[in-house]
Amino acid sequence: MKTLDHVDVTGKRVFVRVDFNVPLDKKDGRVADDARMKAVLPTLRKIMDQGGKAVLASHLGRPKGKVVPEMSLAPVARHLSDMLGRDVPLAPDCIGPQVHAMVQALPAGGVLLLENLRFHPEEEKNDPGFSKELASLADVYVNDAFAVSHRAHASVHGITQHVAVCAAGYQLAKEVAYFKKSVEAPERPLAVVIGGAKVSTKIGVLQNLIPRVDLLVIGGAMANTFLKAQGFRVGKSLVEDDLLATANELLQLAKDRGVRVLLPIDVVVAPALESGSQAKTVGVDAVPEDAGIFDVGDRTLHAVKEALQGCATIVWNGPLGAFETPPFEKGTFALAAFLGDSKALTVIGGGDSASAVKKAGAAQKVSYVSTGGGAFLEMMEGKMLPGIEALKACMGKE
């Protein structure tokens, strides 16, 4: 895709869709985690250094088309000012005469942050009129918000139909490049570790990936459905009984394709998912009727590490257990630490997995941590992302 390196932005208004949907501290309202903001700094600095006028657009929270003061981007503007070492004013809205005036008054190298896009219901509806109004603020459109590129929203999709020049920001281009290196054209053997709560959210992912991978590791609560489908009793564990047949079909697909599948062989069980709960490790054939499965056991971890040891590429999406609740974090954190020390290309996708590698202190050691949970998952399903397809279409008309 065309990136900023292929576009001259000197003196031009550059509308940049960023993902500044960051957590705010409940006590003082300040930005609590600026990882998503740091991710787009290379794009912003390139525009500033070239003398472009950066007009930044983002959403924050879910205001559902209404003005919610608590979801104003004001704290983000203040934090970005500190990060860039220059004043970043916040526009009172994202469209309208006053916003136009502020954009026109921007000096070369200046930065303006528009107010929350989702204060307008037209944003999520991909309204043509709203898209055109946003586009009126731009000479160049840049998408550097991979995390929302699976949404056909006005600032992601519709706007590209009204701007002559479009480009991918550096962060979005990096996301696509790592996905290609890890899933579409990987160095083999390729292993994918899939976890999380439900099979229902990962059926498309598994159907798309099984023909592509050499090794599939299934963990998290979704593994319970596969275990039950194979005849194991799983006690009070979370199970999707309506997907037992689907689980067996997926296992058969893997067998037909010659894909090795690893399911838990021992698990950590407890009467309830509570911190300090009386947990113990048992084989998958010995889960008590009055207990639930909340993590993988040591024998499973050993088998997983041994299998992954010989892989050249490893993709991980979804935790192996309920890592937010001690003592059920061991499996997930152990996997994160292992991937951090691995010599393979290690790509982490999904909000929970990204959180886990960060908490385990391995985020700086793995090859790449995706900034987009839902977007990464949809790419793993083989779906086309509206934001990326819109960029390609826009580039094609130039």
Contact 215, 259 (CB under 8 A): yes
Active site amino acids: 36, 198, 351, 374
- Rounded to whole angstroms, the Cα distance separating 63 from 340 reads 37
b/e string for 261-287 if b means 16 or more Cβ within 10 A?
bbbbbbbbbbeeeeeebebebbebeeb
CA-CA distances (angstroms) from residue 200 to 56, 122, 240?
36, 30, 8
Residues 161, 50: Cα–Cα separation, whole Å: 25
Are the beta carbons of 259 and 191 closer than 8 angstroms? no
* Distance between CA atoms of residues 16 and 140, nearest Å: 8
| Cα dist from 323 to 294, 342, 376, whole Å | 9, 21, 21
Place of tokens 């501290």: 25
For residues 225-248, b (16+ Cβ closer than 10 Å) or e, as one string?
bbbbbeebebbbbbbbeebbebbe
Listed in sequence order, the residues at least 6 apart from 86 whose beta carbon sits closer than 8 Å to its beta carbon are 111
Q: Which one, of 288, 274, 264, lies nearest residue 327 by Cα? A: 274
